[in-house]
């Protein structure tokens, strides 16, 4: 018996046309909640190095969304030592299957998904549930790359109360570009140092990609919420010790933060320092902020389940709108 399967290929342009910041936030929140409810299986990440120096790698991150009837795997490269002219990560994909039939249904570009669902997706959800201010007026953003800009878009979507962004980057030109893009929408203050950016703010997004500490524990005032997307690579690990509560996104994949010398310098932080994670918070297993003056830190490195959820939304929307390139697979 021969079965002809129809596979939908959706490129990066399709993703940008079909996935919004609101979608990325909703997917991240749904993922955290349904992991906590037991409706999502998060598989083990497989990491393979290309070179002896272990600078370049490929890794796969599988997940099954039982509640949405999809299984998928994110395939991504991270090249710290790329060939000249190539970015550190590109050509990322999500392969999506239907759990009811086992059939593959889509191959979806995942580079833009990764950018949207990180600082501007799960970073926003962490802030939504942990901020001392339900309607914050000031957001500090450390960094000005693709993740920081996606984070700004996501935070503006979730928090229309924002009136000012305090921005710090080691490069001034990208900051000026962000200021120009947001002119007339929100005040963007270009800061000369992390200290200046953090001053007067209680909501801080760390999205710099820096490999050394930019924000120290001493800069953070009571009532602050600090969201980190790079563990403690650019954030003082002492803050994890001194904070009233430190949350992970999901303990299973975020164990990497504790194990990595780059994300946990000096291995200062241990399991005992972790108060809980977002999957527990969203399902009522641990409390969130209990006092306005608490200092709260939340760090999450991401997981394939976020990408699979976003890819499923892109796929469903593409089918509704007749978008994408159809590929035929003959299954014997």
Give pLDDT, residue 88: 85
How many angstroms from the chain centroid is the CA of residue 84? 27
State the average pLDDT over residues 210-221: 95
The SS3 of residue 158 is helix
Give pLDDT, residue 5: 80
Give pLDDT, residue 66: 98
pTM for this one? 0.94
State the average pLDDT over residues 61-89: 94
Give pLDDT, residue 40: 98
State the average pLDDT over residues 315-329: 95
Q: Which residues in 196-256 belong to E strands, given as ranges?
A: 203-206, 225-228, 245-248
- Per the document, the length of the chain is 332
b/e for 215-251, b at 16 or more Cβ within 10 A?
A: bebebbeebbbbbbbbbbbbbbbbbbeebebbbbbbb
Per residue in 158-196, pLDDT (tens digit) is: 999 999 999 999 999 999 999 999 999 999 999 999 999
State the average pLDDT over residues 282-287: 98
In angstroms, the CA 73 to CA 64 distance is: 9
User: For 241, what's the count of Cα atoms within 13 Å in the CB-facing half-sphere?
Assistant: 13
* Nearest alpha-carbon partner for 318 in 4, 16, 71: 16
What pLDDT band is residue 2 in, cutting at 50, 70 and 90? low
What pLDDT band is residue 114 in, cutting at 50, 70 and 90? very high
Residue 151's alpha-carbon distances to 141, 232, 246, 262, in angstroms, are 8, 18, 20, 23
Give pLDDT, residue 73: 98
Q: Tell the burial category of 56 from Cβ atoms under 10 Å away from its Cβ (0-12, 13-18, 19+).
A: middle
The SS3 of residue 42 is strand
Give pLDDT, residue 198: 97
What pLDDT band is residue 92 in, cutting at 50, 70 and 90? very high
What pLDDT band is residue 4 in, cutting at 50, 70 and 90? low
Contact 229, 206 (CB under 8 A): yes
Domains of the chain: 3-113+305-331 (3.30.1780.10), 117-302 (3.40.50.720)
């Amino acid at each position: 018996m021969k079965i002809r399967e129809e596979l939908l290929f959706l490129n990066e342009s399709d993703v940008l046309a079909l996935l919004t910041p609101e979608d990325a936030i909703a997917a991240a929140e749904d993922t955290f909640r349904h992991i906590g409810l037991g409706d999502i299986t998060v598989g083990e990440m497989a990491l393979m190095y290309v070179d002896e120096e272990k600078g370049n790698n490929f890794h796969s991150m599988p997940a099954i969304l039982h509640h949405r009837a999809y299984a998928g795997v994110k395939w991504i490269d991270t090249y710290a030592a790329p060939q000249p002219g190539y970015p550190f990560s590109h050509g990322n994909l999500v392969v999506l299957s239907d759990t009811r039939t086992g059939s593959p249904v889509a191959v979806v570009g995942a580079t833009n998904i990764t950018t949207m669902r990180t600082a501007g997706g799960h970073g926003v959800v962490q802030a939504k549930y942990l901020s001392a201010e339900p309607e914050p007026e000031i957001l500090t953003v450390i960094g000005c790359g693709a993740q920081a800009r996606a984070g700004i878009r996501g935070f503006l979507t979730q928090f229309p109360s924002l009136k000012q962004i305090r921005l710090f980057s080691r490069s001034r030109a990208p900051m000026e570009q962000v200021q120009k893009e947001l002119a007339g929408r929100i005040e963007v203050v270009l800061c000369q140092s992390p200290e200046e950016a953090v001053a007067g703010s209680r909501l801080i997004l760390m999205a710099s990609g820096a490999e050394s500490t930019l924000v120290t524990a001493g800069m953070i005032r009571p009532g602050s919420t600090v969201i980190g997307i790079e563990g403690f690579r650019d954030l003082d690990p002492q803050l994890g010790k001194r904070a009233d509560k430190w949350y992970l996104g999901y303990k299973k994949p975020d164990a990497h933060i504790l194990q990595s010398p780059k994300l946990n310098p000096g291995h200062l932080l241990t399991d005992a320092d972790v108060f809980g994670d977002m999957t527990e918070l969203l399902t009522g297993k641990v409390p969130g902020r209990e006092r306005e003056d608490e200092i709260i830190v939340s760090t999450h490195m991401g997981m394939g389940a976020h990408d699979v959820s976003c890819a499923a939304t892109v796929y469903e929307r593409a089918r509704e709108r007749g978008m994408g390139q159809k590929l035929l697979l003959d299954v014997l």
